[in-house]
Amino acid sequence: MAANTPAGIDKEQAFGMAETEMEYRVELFNRLAQTCFNKCVDKRYKESELNMGENSCIDRCVSKYWQVNGMIGQMLSAGGRPPM
């Protein structure tokens, strides 16, 4: 067993867990990009680059998305339930 794998987990299990984590991260990024793009970018492209309003909106959207994702992760890891 490698020194950096938790006790009771072999290399194949650790690799599988890392692969699952990577798939989760890719899916999270794709959802984040799609959500913020749909919310912030005008459907009729007028310019080749984002304008100041779109940049600001995307910045706020990404920040809120990560903040909420972190809060949910903390609640799930603590076994807590979201407030109703």
Range of the structural domain that residue 37 is part of: 9-76
pTM of the model: 0.68
Question: Position of tokens 């890392």?
Answer: 18
Nearest 10 degrees: CA dihedral of 45, 46, 51, 53?
-70
Evaluate whether residue 81 is within a structural domain: no
Number of domains in the chain: 1
**Model pLDDT for residues 10-51, shown as the tens digit of each residue:** 888 888 999 999 999 999 999 999 999 999 998 888 888 989
